[in-house]
Amino acid sequence: MTAALLAAATGSGAHLAHASAWAVFGVGAALILTGAFGVVLLRNPVHSALMLVITLIGVALEFIDESADFLAAVQIIVYAGAIVILFLFVIMFLAVDRREPAAPEPTRAQRPLAVLLGLVALAELLILSRVQHWSSGAHHVAGSLKGGEDVQKLGESIFTRYLLPFEMTAALLVIAVVAAVVLSRRHGRVAAEMSPAEQEEATLR
Partner 1 sequence: MGDPVFAHGLTLAVWLILLVKTVAVFVIVLVSVLFMVMYERKAVARLGVRWGPNRAGPNGWLQSLADGTKLLFKEAFTPRSADRLVYKVAPYLMLVPALIAFAIVPIGGTVTVAHNTTELQLADPPWGILFMLMASGLAVYGVILAGWSSRSKYSLLGAVRASAQMISYEAVLGLTTATVVLVTGSLRTSSIVAAQHGGFLYHWNVIHTALIPFALFAVAITAEMTRPPFDLVEAEEELSGGYMIEYASVDFAWFYLSEYAALVTNSAFIVTLWFGGPDGPRITGHSIGPFWFFLKLLIILFVFVWIRATLPRLRYDQLMELGWKRLIPAALIMLMVVAGFQINREWGFVAIGAGLVLAGVLWRAIDVGRGATVVESGPDPRVAQEAEQ
Q: Which is nearer to partner 1, 1 or 121 (CB)?
A: 1
- Listed residue (46, 39, 41, 40) closest to 96, CA to CA: 46
Q: Which is nearer to partner 1, 70 or 162 (CB)?
A: 70
Q: Which is nearer to partner 1, 140 or 185 (CB)?
A: 185
Min CB(78)–partner 1 separation in Å: 8
Interface ranges with partner 1 (CB under 8 A)? 1, 5-6, 8-13, 16, 44, 46-47, 50, 53, 69-70, 72-74, 76-77, 80-82, 85-86, 88-89, 92-93, 97, 149-151, 189, 192-193, 204
Min CB(79)–partner 1 separation in Å: 10
Distance, in Å, from the CA atom of 180 to the CA atom of 76, rounded to the nearest integer, reads 25
Min CB(117)–partner 1 separation in Å: 32
Min CB(166)–partner 1 separation in Å: 16
Q: Which is nearer to partner 1, 92 or 142 (CB)?
A: 92
Q: Which is nearer to partner 1, 97 or 128 (CB)?
A: 97
Task: Work out the angle at residue 91's Cα, subtended by the Cα atoms of residues 85 and 94, and round it to the nearest 5 degrees.
Answer: 135
Min CB(102)–partner 1 separation in Å: 21
